[in-house]
Amino acid sequence: MLTARPLPLTSKLLSHIGDYVALTKPRIIELLLVTTVPTMIVAQRGLPPVWLMVCTVVGGTLAAGGANAINMYVDRDIDKVMARTRNRPIASGRISPRAGLTFAVTIEVAAFAFLWATVNLLSAVLAVAACLFYVFVYTLWLKRTSSRNIVIGGAAGAAPVLIGWSAVTGSLSWAPVVLFAVIFYWTPPHFWALAIRYRDDYAKVDVPMLPVVASLRTTATRILGYTLLLWALSLLFAPVAGMGHLYVGAALVLGAVFTWYAVRLLRDTSSATAMRVFTWSITYVTLLFGAMALDQLLRSGF
């Protein structure tokens, strides 16, 4: 009779570390940080000091990771039910709720202290404010009570551009505010497309994501509306921030492609089409911010 061999101590340790890393939702953090460094390059009008970029990214990662871990702590009851989330560390029982919350609060405090010590107080305050907004406004209040949950809650995901700008300049201006609006209006089309795919999961736990409480055509119509607003804001950023032709061209083309995907979803509201919108939304924000950074680096003679 064969028996399962226990994992070696090193494997157990690595697996446990991996669970704590998973609490921070690394994929979401990657997406947030894609917006931070290009924003810093625009604010600097060239390449900021490497140490400043590293410190801002590390502090931002800790802050976002802490917020995401608290979200997993709060949502552990519904995470156990949803197929997409039931294998998360707390929901699956691999990490206890108390240990998960302790870890989350610890790295959030560390994020504030680290950003204050290495970047500036404004960036530290913005990072923690984003965490508090995500936890108290989105997770604890809106997520389970309003179909506009992700619309308002998206403000937390837009905070990294403010943090990146303030890290370089020590202040805020209209340019980062418009960039904040770009991410704010990008979030609903991005997330609603995913929510169409997992509509039944959200309905099962009574979370009123838009595709659950409205028809798929209504959801697709709103995705198109927000995409058009996003396109307009991405173009508005050019004169406000003094961007060049490379960025303007990229914003025009990328926005047109995003709109085309949204129109396709309006004609075909299947999960497969929705996931194409979701996938493109990630490509869109990566390429838009990449073009933004490249535009400024080339103009600065880097």
Rounded CA separation 19/100 (Å): 10
Rounded CA separation 17/22 (Å): 9
pLDDT value of position 302: 73
How do residues 37-81 score in pLDDT, each as one tens digit? 999 999 999 999 999 999 999 999 999 999 999 999 999 999 999
Percent of the chain with pLDDT over 70: 97
Rounded CA separation 104/211 (Å): 30
Rounded CA separation 88/188 (Å): 24
Look up the pTM and report it.
Answer: 0.93
pLDDT value of position 301: 79
Q: Which amino acid is present at 227?
A: T
Residues whose CB falls within 8 Å of the CB of residue 230, separated by 6 or more in sequence, listed in order: 182, 185, 186, 189, 255, 258
Closest CA to 110 of 61, 51, 159: 61
Question: What distance lies between CA 70 and its chain's CA centroid?
Answer: 15
- Average pLDDT over the chain reads 93
pLDDT value of position 6: 54
pLDDT value of position 5: 57
Q: Between 84 and 292, where is the model more confident?
A: 292
How do residues 200-242 score in pLDDT, each as one tens digit? 999 999 999 999 999 999 999 999 999 999 999 999 999 999 9
Asked if the model's pLDDT at residue 186 lies above 90, the reply is yes
